[in-house]
Amino acid sequence: ELKVEQNPLFLSMQEGKNYTIYCNYSTTSDRLYWYRQDPGKSLESLFVLLSNGAVKQEGRLMASLDTKARLSTLHITAAVHDLSATYFCAVDMEYGNKLVFGAGTILRVKS
């Protein structure tokens, strides 16, 4: 059974600081996704990582994937308040099929 673990589950950080959210998964998968969810809203796709060593960046967020270590990271650079949200990683159980989600990381950026 595929398990996806995220940590930390809650992150409070000051504006301007850097931090990393980690996502570990238990079985082989080559597809990992990062999503953002604002309160009361659905999921917004941030990144799709499809191969070992993949790195993608969008603004202050950068995601990477190490399939050998079964680890993905979401790095936040110089955080701003607008980044406050819940971030989920999700892993494909099968190609084009079911996603297993991590528990989510609640990020609060304080001014």
Residues of the shown chain interacting with other proteins in the complex, contacts defined by CB under 8 A:
33, 35, 40-43, 45, 48, 50, 88, 90, 96-104
Dihedral over Cα of 103, 111, 14, 58: its sign: positive
**Based on CB atoms, which residue is closest to other proteins, 48 or 71?**
48
Q: What's the first-to-final CA gap in the chain, in angstroms?
A: 41
Cis previous bond, 39, omega within 30? no
**Based on CB atoms, which residue is closest to other proteins, 4 or 76?**
4
**Based on CB atoms, which residue is closest to other proteins, 36 or 64?**
36
